[in-house]
């Protein structure tokens, strides 16, 4: 496993050939210029910017889709709610595991991952149900994710939250969810409200370069590896935002309406599912901090029987509403934070129910329409699952 190359190589490792060094600088500047133009275009076009360009498809999807981690499970066997818009809450113990404990207690497969190589997780039917996305192909990425971790560490003491707020069903660490959500007693989609102190912290973090870049990478990778699912997000969430001017997107160019900062300093989640999320949707998780990813910080995908190395600065996508997941603990003196992006299933229900709550929507239907809606609900989970990409879609790469 090769380490991430440093931003500035030591003097003895720098190119001694002046011409080669100049060429490398020109290539880097050209790439940075292209990235800047794409970011500017994204800012103009909003969340609908990302589309799978042929060159990107060939470089990532067609090259890596058939080299993934195969699991002996059909994701259709997972359980969603009767409406197909959310998962089903399950009970788990509030415990964190060490790597040694998991090895002794389970026969789960330990997957080595360098945090860079795109690696899909493929079910029995060839569906790409989760994805180890890696990180942007940028020379300064080590500095970017280290800065993101530093911002979270420095912000934790500014949240103004009592110690008791550290204890919740996902773990023992401060976590601040934000963005637009629906469900849990809300009568319509709303922007999550926080204390003035937390709001100030969120404003700073959301405007920071590291988290804007992480967010953009999440949406662009989503569009590349699950374009049908991504388009479903664009269509339904776009309609919801267009219908209500009070709703605000978190990041320009990001399709995800909600996110959570997990402030550590030793973020390790209990085993859980995020049942309120869209069951066939993807949760985008980015690991941050300073820890030895070979010894700790792994993500445990319990229902898939996988324990996956999860290095700092890398991103993974999982269907968090239906696949139970947790983290392995890290070592003494190490730090771990995380940043997650996701979408509540209630937002999609709101769009498909013509921007009405359940009572008003079903009351507005004729008897025949009600029957049709009942049939749609029965099929929503199965039709949603088919939005995942399939390895059968890989096209041969021209030599």
**Residue 103: what pLDDT?**
95
| Residue 26 resides in a domain | no
Task: Give the Cα separation of 135 and 139 in Å (integer).
Answer: 11
| Residue 315 resides in a domain | yes
Task: Give yes or no for a contact between 296 and 208, defined as CB atoms under 8 angstroms apart.
Answer: no
Question: Taking residues 37-46, what's their average pLDDT?
Answer: 45
Task: Give the Cα separation of 310 and 297 in Å (integer).
Answer: 6
Pairing of strands 306-308, 283-290: unpaired
| Residue 22 resides in a domain | no
Task: Give the Cα separation of 194 and 260 in Å (integer).
Answer: 12
Among residues 274, 260, 286, which one has the least CA distance to residue 201?
260
Instruction: For 116-172, write each residue's pLDDT tens digit.
Output: 999 999 999 999 999 999 999 999 999 999 999 999 999 999 998 877 678 788 888
The residue assigned the tokens 């404990």 is 101
Task: Supply the range of the domain harboring residue 127.
Answer: 50-351
**% residues pLDDT > 90 (the chain):** 77
Lowest-confidence segment of 151-165, 197-211, 358-372 by average pLDDT: 151-165
CATH number of the domain bearing residue 164? 3.60.130.30
| Residue 5 resides in a domain | no
Structural domain tally of the chain?
1
| Residue 154 resides in a domain | yes
**% residues pLDDT > 70 (the chain):** 86
Q: What is the mean pLDDT of the chain?
A: 88
| Residue 167 resides in a domain | yes
Instruction: For 79-126, write each residue's pLDDT tens digit.
Output: 999 999 999 999 999 999 999 999 999 999 999 999 999 999 999 999
Among residues 125, 70, 76, 120, which one has the least CA distance to residue 383?
76
Q: How confident is the model at residue 24 (pLDDT cuts 50, 70, 90)?
A: low
């Amino acid at each position: 496993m090769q380490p991430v190359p440093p931003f500035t190589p030591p003097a003895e490792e720098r190119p001694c050939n002046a011409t080669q060094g100049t060429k490398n600088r020109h290539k880097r500047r050209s790439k940075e210029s292209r990235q800047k133009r794409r970011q500017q275009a994204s800012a103009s076009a909003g969340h609908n910017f990302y589309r799978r360009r042929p060159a990107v498809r060939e470089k990532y999807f067609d090259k890596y889709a058939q080299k993934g981690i195969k699991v002996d499970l059909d994701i259709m066997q997972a359980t969603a709610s009767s409406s197909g818009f959310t998962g089903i809450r399950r009970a788990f113990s509030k415990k964190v595991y060490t790597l040694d404990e998991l090895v002794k207690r389970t026969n789960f497969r330990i997957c080595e991952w360098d945090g860079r190589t795109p690696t899909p997780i493929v079910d029995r039917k060839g569906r790409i149900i989760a994805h180890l996305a890696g990180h942007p192909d940028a020379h300064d990425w080590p500095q970017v994710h280290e800065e993101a971790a530093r911002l979270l560490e420095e912000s934790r003491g500014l949240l103004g939250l009592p110690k008791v707020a550290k204890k919740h069903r996902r773990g023992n660490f401060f976590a601040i969810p934000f963005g637009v959500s629906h469900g849990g007693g809300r009568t319509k989609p709303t922007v999550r409200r926080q204390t003035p102190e937390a709001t100030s912290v969120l404003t700073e973090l959301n405007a920071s370069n590291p988290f804007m870049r992480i967010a953009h990478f999440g949406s662009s990778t989503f569009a590349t590896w699950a374009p049908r699912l991504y388009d479903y997000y664009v269509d339904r969430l776009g309609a919801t935002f267009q219908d209500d001017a009070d709703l605000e997107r978190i990041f320009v160019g990001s399709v995800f309406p909600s996110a959570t900062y997990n402030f550590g300093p030793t973020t390790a989640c209990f085993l859980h599912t995020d049942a309120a999320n869209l069951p066939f949707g993807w949760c985008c998780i980015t690991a941050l901090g300073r820890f030895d990813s070979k010894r700790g910080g792994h993500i445990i995908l319990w229902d898939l029987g996988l324990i996956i190395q999860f290095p700092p600065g890398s991103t993974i996508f999982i269907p968090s509403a239906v696949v139970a997941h947790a983290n392995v603990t890290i070592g003494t003196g190490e730090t771990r934070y995380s940043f997650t992006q996701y979408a509540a299933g209630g937002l999609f229900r709101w769009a498909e129910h013509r921007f009405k709550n359940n009572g008003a929507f079903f009351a507005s239907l004729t008897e025949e329409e009600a029957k049709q809606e009942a049939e749609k609900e029965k099929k929503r989970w199965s039709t949603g699952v088919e939005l995942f990409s399939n390895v059968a879609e890989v096209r041969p790469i021209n030599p």
